[in-house]
Amino acid sequence: SLYSFMQSNPLQAEALYRKVVEVASLHKNLTLWDLYSGVGSISLFIAPLVKRVVAVEDCEAAVRDALFNAKLNDVQNVEFLFGKAEEVLANAGKDSKEEENEVVIINPPRKGCAESLLRALRARRSVERVIYVSCNPKTLARDLAILTASDDDDASVSAVFSVSRLCPVDMFPHTTHVEVVCLLTRNHNNNNNNDDSDSLETVRHREIDSNYEVTSTSVTY
């Protein structure tokens, strides 16, 4: 519809979604959150691979389109919720054994995520992995600085989340625009740090609101 966002390069959009699936390590017992879900394209693409998807979007027209798309494709394990992602996630209730293995996909607009959402993700202990799909490297760096900050409640954890992979996807060839799929994994204590760091990308934040750089032995395209 007029007020709903759609990727304007559908061929590369599919490549982007396949990259999300690749890094997410999905399985049939998983509950997946799709925040800033739009018309449900990522939710519906991933739904056959997980137990259920909870999709959250604050554009009412996009939610209506998502419900239509789910019916059109006969997808029945996706719940579409209208509201601000940070409010819905914060009010989703206490963690339970049933939901102890959650994965969250966040695909915000260029302005990035609300800080309150990032704080809610840090606090929700059932979230093991976050896949951040970004169309703006500057706000991605800003938001990663919050997600990877140290845990004030547990001195044994030097960072709540660690960046495991960064995968750029060239959505618009011959332009400066690039999407980035970033996988973050939760650290429960310092002993969980991955020793094979030469296979992982490392993000070093110089300033929370501007410069960032990525160093790696290999970058996945």
The catalytic site residues sit at 135
Q: What is the DSSP letter of 130?
A: E
Rounded to whole angstroms, how far apart are CA atoms 221 and 120? 30
Residues paired with 129 in a beta bridge: 103, 185
Q: How remote is the C-alpha of 87 from its chain's centroid? A: 16
Residues paired with 183 in a beta bridge: 131, 165
Rounded to whole angstroms, how far apart are CA atoms 70 and 80? 9
**63, two tokens:** 């939610």
Q: How many CB atoms lie within 10 A of CB 73?
A: 14
Q: Check: CB of residue 59 under 8 Å from CB of residue 4.
A: yes
